[in-house]
């Protein structure tokens, strides 16, 4: 039987400790109004054909550190990550979620043809230019072809404080900003529109159950020490 020594000299059987897992998440969300789109498969509501004029929210999430190519320039003016069979490179999986008309379509894309993330900030040669871009193109787990991309850039408004792909950000697009969101899950269901806002959220680490176990077992150790003290009193 395996043991690990914990607080208070207590030995707890059967415990194997594992450190926290590192995850570099790029989670990119765009919201806006659909300029063009169709709902042929009824995914976003039965009896609804055209999606034009409806609001949308699209989110792409990937652990970009698992892509083969990960690069930032020496001045940290930009950062990008990509992979996929289109490049002849291994790629991280992508999870895509689109919400329209109160209905949500979600899919996990395990082996993308393209998985590409890009953030560009201001530089000495282009001080006002900021851009966020995400692209995923893949068969889903059921063999359906998904193509999703979104971007927003500005020549006037420096909305990025950093070029980290796993940064947190919310930005409401201003006049003069340029962007597009495109979603196509096959079967005649697709839409496109201009983002009115974007959001980025990421995480540097994910706490695994072992970390919680350490806390619980530490408390157990304290309780046992107190119990031994009470019994010996």
Q: Are residues 75 and 178 in the same domain?
A: yes
Domain ranges, residue 135? 23-206
Q: Are residues 38 and 67 in the same domain?
A: yes
Q: Are residues 177 and 232 in the same domain?
A: no
Q: Are residues 44 and 120 in the same domain?
A: yes
Cα Dmax for the chain = 78
- pTM above threshold 0.85: no
Among 69-73, 160-164, 227-231, which range has the highest average pLDDT?
160-164
Q: Is the pLDDT of residue 205 over 50?
A: no
Contacts of 122 (CB under 8 A, 6+ apart): 77, 128, 129, 130, 158, 160
The pLDDT assigned to 118 comes to 95
The pLDDT assigned to 204 comes to 47
C-alpha closest to that of 191 among 32, 37, 35: 37
Residue with more model confidence, 45 or 74: 45
Confidence tier at 228 by pLDDT (50, 70, 90): low
Q: Is the pLDDT of residue 188 over 70?
A: yes
Q: Are residues 5 and 110 in the same domain?
A: no
Confidence tier at 37 by pLDDT (50, 70, 90): very high
Average pLDDT over residues 185-194: 95
Q: Are residues 96 and 7 in the same domain?
A: no
Confidence tier at 126 by pLDDT (50, 70, 90): confident
Q: Are the C-beta atoms of residues 152 and 32 closer than 8 Å to each other?
A: no
Q: Are residues 91 and 59 in the same domain?
A: yes
Q: Are residues 194 and 233 in the same domain?
A: no
Dihedral sign for Cα atoms in the order 206, 181, 135, 104: positive
Calpha distance 163→74 (Å, rounded)? 12
Q: Are residues 200 and 217 in the same domain?
A: no
């Amino acid at each position: 039987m395996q043991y690990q020594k914990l607080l208070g000299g207590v030995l707890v059987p059967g415990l194997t400790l594992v450190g926290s897992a590192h995850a570099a998440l790029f989670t990119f969300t765009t919201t806006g109004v659909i300029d063009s789109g169709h709902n042929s498969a009824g995914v976003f509501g039965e009896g609804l054909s055209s999606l034009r004029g409806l609001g949308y929210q699209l989110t792409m999430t990937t652990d970009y550190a698992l892509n083969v190519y990960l690069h930032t320039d020496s001045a940290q003016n930009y950062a990008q990550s990509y992979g996929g069979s289109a490049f002849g490179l291994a790629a991280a999986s992508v999870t895509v979620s689109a919400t329209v008309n109160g209905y949500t379509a979600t899919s996990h894309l395990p082996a993308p043809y393209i998985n590409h993330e890009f953030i560009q900030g201001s530089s000495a040669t282009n001080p006002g230019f900021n851009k966020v871009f995400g692209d995923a193109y893949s068969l889903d787990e059921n063999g359906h072809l998904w193509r999703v991309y979104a971007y927003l850039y500005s020549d006037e408004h420096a909305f990025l404080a950093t070029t980290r792909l796993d940064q947190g950000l919310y930005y409401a697009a201003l006049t003069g900003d340029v962007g597009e969101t495109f979603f196509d899950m096959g079967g005649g269901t697709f839409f496109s529109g201009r983002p009115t806002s974007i959001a980025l959220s990421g995480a540097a680490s994910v706490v695994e159950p072992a970390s919680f176990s350490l806390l619980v077992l530490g408390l157990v150790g304290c309780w046992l020490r107190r119990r031994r003290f009470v019994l010996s009193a």
